[in-house]
Chains A and B, each alone.
Chain A
Amino acid sequence: MSVLITISLLAILVLYLGLFKAKKALLPVSILGLLGALSLSFYEWGSYAQPIYNGMMLFDNFAAAFSGITILSTLLIFLLSKDYFERISSNIAEYYTVILFSLAGIIVMVSYHNLTMLFIGIEIMSVSLYILAGIKKRDFASNEAALKYFLMGAFSTGFLLFGIALLYGASGSFDLLEIRNYILSAPQEVSPLFYGGILLLIVGLCFKVGAAPFHFWAPDVYEGSPSLITAYMSTVVKTAGFAAFLRLFLFCFSPLSEFWSPVLVTLAALSLLIGNITAVYQQHFKRMLAYSSISHVGYMLFAVISLNGSSDTSIFVYAAAYSIASIMAFAALILLQRQVGTDSFDSFNGLARKNPFLALTLTVAMLSLAGIPLTAGFIGKFMMFTSALSTYHTYLVLFAVLNAAIGIFYYFRVIVAMYFKEADRHELIVSPYYRLVLGLSAAATILLGVYPELISRLI
């Protein structure tokens, strides 16, 4: 639990550093603090197995692994934030603080053992994100993103809370263990309230992870928010949402899978279809990434649909691969937006000749997102498909393979534009921080693609 305390204290420390005008120290202190939190989550790996704080939290291997990957992704995003927030306004310390507070909420979301903690974690995370979406005060799109995200988020929280209330009404407890015991004691006599609660929880959580048909906020919010915040939302937040989703379903609702599994199969198929088909028609890189993130939600739902011993590992590997690849893509997007001023596919033309390193790493990212072998994305998709096949969801897997083929089309548009289309352009300036993030992430993507055992045994 020291991870949560470290991150919360770090947030306050960064806030005070900003207050006392130590602007140079903000980024180094945040990064050092996150490294500390990361090592603490490794240290706690395999140590706690008992619920703590009166059964409110359980910091097991699952929680340690997911805190690790969310902290690592935040670390990479912080490295990209060098000179980013300075362009928006002078309140840089506040931006770092709010991101760290939302990370604290995420740590609660991945380690809850009580439904009230799930709710509190989601709220801490979401409220911070509503602010972050709107930090470009003078930008109309950013304002729209913040307002839309707030209205939709508040609405979905209502569903979530109502679902939790119904579960409490049926089982008489917020504790995950007692809810599980309630189902196991009489599986045939589970109250109808409980089923209603499960459905409402699915609605609430699917809003948060952005699964179709609850995805309507996602493209506008992702496009309107500052790109760095979009990177945070589509990687760290999505990973945390799935960790919370899986923790609840794996631990509590698995005996009732006959009831909710058809619902999730429908949602997964819809997310795949809508995400992929609309991504094909996009002309802008950022909007394409937003829609492709909806389709990735579809793939990740496979692990929840086919609950078994390896579901947590497959979500973990998929989320790690997806986060790392997305961060690379967003790094390229930020460079492009800042130095070219647009992010349409045409602006990638001829990039490989002027910026070979950037083009190479972006290619690795696109290959990983498309799920081509020897990249981490392939291992993630492979694990998802095998787990879905193990529960005989053959048609779903067939459908997903078709969709993966569509995905290859729009991811390869970027690669084709970079390598095979000529255009007169200036070389993009890639700062050392960006080089470090791009290089590390590309190396990690290929390493995980070749040796997936490195992280697949963590949980």
Chain B
Amino acid sequence: METQTSAINYLPIVFQMLVALGFVVLTMVLTHIIGPKRKSKEKLSPFESGIEVVGNARQPFSIKYFLVAILFVLFDIEVIFMYPWAVNFREMSLEGFDGLIEMLVFMGTLLLGFIYIIKKKALDWE
């Protein structure tokens, strides 16, 4: 197997980048040139599936959304870690229960965190 790589091996990546950039530039330029230009008030307002625009999109909203979202990510990641563990579980369990115990320690730590969240009422909306 070839172990040494040189700059020439990366040429396909350069082509890929050029094609990607070229496509963006080309379509932007083309639509500006051949597209019709009608500037009425309705045309310039953001498209919201036919519903009329209500107010500004950039307004502060409750911190609770962020809290719930970040907690969701946390426990989502926990599940992601379980996939490679489950795939390799058969190999790990050949030498005793180490693999199982390690996962229990990991999940136990997160469970402690979960109890903390519930107790602190972080998920209570009111």
Residues on A lying within 8 angstroms of B by beta carbon are 12, 15-16, 19
- Contact present for A12 and B120 (CB under 8 Å): no
A237 to chain B, nearest CB (A): 24
- Contact present for B112 and A19 (CB under 8 Å): no
Chain A proximity mask over B63-104: 1 for CB below 8 Å, otherwise 0: 000000000000000000000000000000000000000000
B23 within 8 A of A: no
Chain A proximity mask over B10-30: 1 for CB below 8 Å, otherwise 0: 000000000000000000000
B114 within 8 A of A: no
8 cross-chain CB contacts under 8 A: A12-B109, A12-B112, A15-B116, A16-B112, A16-B116, A19-B116, A19-B119, A19-B120
Q: Give the total number of A-B pairs whose CB atoms are below 8 A apart.
A: 8
A4 to chain B, nearest CB (A): 13
Question: Which applies to chain B's interface (DSSP): helix, strand, loop or mixed?
Answer: helix
Q: Kindly list chain A residues whose C-beta atoms are within 8 Å of the C-beta of B120.
A: 19
- Distance A209 CA – B112 CA, assembled complex (angstroms): 33
Residues on B lying within 8 angstroms of A by beta carbon are 109, 112, 116, 119-120
A418 to chain B, nearest CB (A): 45
Q: Kindly list chain A residues whose C-beta atoms are within 8 Å of the C-beta of B119.
A: 19
- Distance A298 CA – B116 CA, assembled complex (angstroms): 43
- Distance A19 CA – B119 CA, assembled complex (angstroms): 7
Q: Kindly list chain B residues whose C-beta atoms are within 8 Å of the C-beta of A15.
A: 116
- Distance A64 CA – B116 CA, assembled complex (angstroms): 32
Q: Kindly list chain B residues whose C-beta atoms are within 8 Å of the C-beta of A12.
A: 109, 112
- Distance A304 CA – B126 CA, assembled complex (angstroms): 55
- Distance A12 CA – B108 CA, assembled complex (angstroms): 12
B22 to chain A, nearest CB (A): 28
- Distance A12 CA – B110 CA, assembled complex (angstroms): 11
User: A16-B116, A19-B116, A19-B120 given. 5 additional CB < 8 A pairs?
Assistant: A12-B109, A12-B112, A15-B116, A16-B112, A19-B119
- Distance A364 CA – B120 CA, assembled complex (angstroms): 45
Q: Kindly list chain A residues whose C-beta atoms are within 8 Å of the C-beta of B109.
A: 12
- Distance A352 CA – B120 CA, assembled complex (angstroms): 47
- Distance A110 CA – B119 CA, assembled complex (angstroms): 35
- Distance A16 CA – B114 CA, assembled complex (angstroms): 12
B119 to chain A, nearest CB (A): 5
B35 to chain A, nearest CB (A): 40
5 smallest CB-CB distances across A and B, nearest first, come from A19-B119, A12-B112, A19-B116, A15-B116, A19-B120
- Distance A19 CA – B115 CA, assembled complex (angstroms): 10
A89 to chain B, nearest CB (A): 14
- Distance A15 CA – B120 CA, assembled complex (angstroms): 11
Q: Kindly list chain A residues whose C-beta atoms are within 8 Å of the C-beta of B112.
A: 12, 16
B123 to chain A, nearest CB (A): 15
Q: Kindly list chain B residues whose C-beta atoms are within 8 Å of the C-beta of A16.
A: 112, 116
B26 to chain A, nearest CB (A): 33
- Distance A15 CA – B113 CA, assembled complex (angstroms): 10
Query: Counting chain A CB atoms within 10 Å of each CB, which of B112, B116, B119 scores highest?
Result: B116
- Distance A354 CA – B104 CA, assembled complex (angstroms): 59
- Distance A15 CA – B114 CA, assembled complex (angstroms): 13
Residue of B nearest to A19 (CB): B119
- Distance A19 CA – B116 CA, assembled complex (angstroms): 7
- Distance A64 CA – B120 CA, assembled complex (angstroms): 37
A96 to chain B, nearest CB (A): 14
Residue of A nearest to B120 (CB): A19
Residue of A nearest to B109 (CB): A12
Residue of B nearest to A13 (CB): B112
- Distance A15 CA – B112 CA, assembled complex (angstroms): 10
A17 to chain B, nearest CB (A): 12
Residue of B nearest to A12 (CB): B112
- Distance A290 CA – B103 CA, assembled complex (angstroms): 44
- Distance A12 CA – B109 CA, assembled complex (angstroms): 9
- Distance A19 CA – B112 CA, assembled complex (angstroms): 11
- Distance A56 CA – B84 CA, assembled complex (angstroms): 20
